[in-house]
Amino acid sequence: MVPRLACLAFLALAAAAPAHATGGVSCEADDRSAKFTIGSPVGRSTGGALFQFEGALELKGRDVAEDFRKLSFAKENLTQSWFDARELRMRVYHERAGEPHGTVELTVEARGNPEAETWRGRYTIRLGEVVNGEFRTRQLNGRVSCSVEG
């Protein structure tokens, strides 16, 4: 009888405890250079790993190549990420499939209080393209806001 009561007590306590298996992060910006949203659920049991990552980027400059104006991102575009109690970093990379060679790299860095739902930071977009046979890069910068749950 005592083992049965102990088992029932354990199950009752386990059921009453809140579950924190996953949370999520979502970062967005909308300024004169770019508009984007990127994010992912976050697995707590996997050390804060981002999974099912996705996003969209719209580059607003007149001198941006047509195929770089609107991009969609998936898990394979997330090349680096870091998420802990006070800091979030994500690096997203896209490479043009055809010629001329071109790349887009979006880096987000945000900081916040572990209790806050919104963190603030900066983004950097590096555009690289072959122009007249030479690979040239340029950089766009701005502010980003990230929602952090769980």
| Residue 96 located in a structural domain | yes
In contact, 144 and 27? CB cutoff 8 Å: yes
| Residue 12 located in a structural domain | no
| Residue 11 located in a structural domain | no
- The predicted model gives 44-73 an average pLDDT of 85
Indicate the number of domains in the chain: 1
Residue among 82, 78, 94, 86 at smallest CA distance from 38: 78
| Residue 15 located in a structural domain | no
pLDDT at 20 over 60: no
Question: Domain containing 26 — which CATH number?
Answer: 2.40.128
- Across the chain, mean pLDDT equals 84
| Cis check: omega of the bond before 100, within 30 degrees of 0 | yes
What range defines the domain where residue 145 resides? 20-149
Q: Please state the pTM of the whole predicted model.
A: 0.81
Confidence (pLDDT) at 112 = 94
| Residue 9 located in a structural domain | no
- The predicted model gives 53-76 an average pLDDT of 95
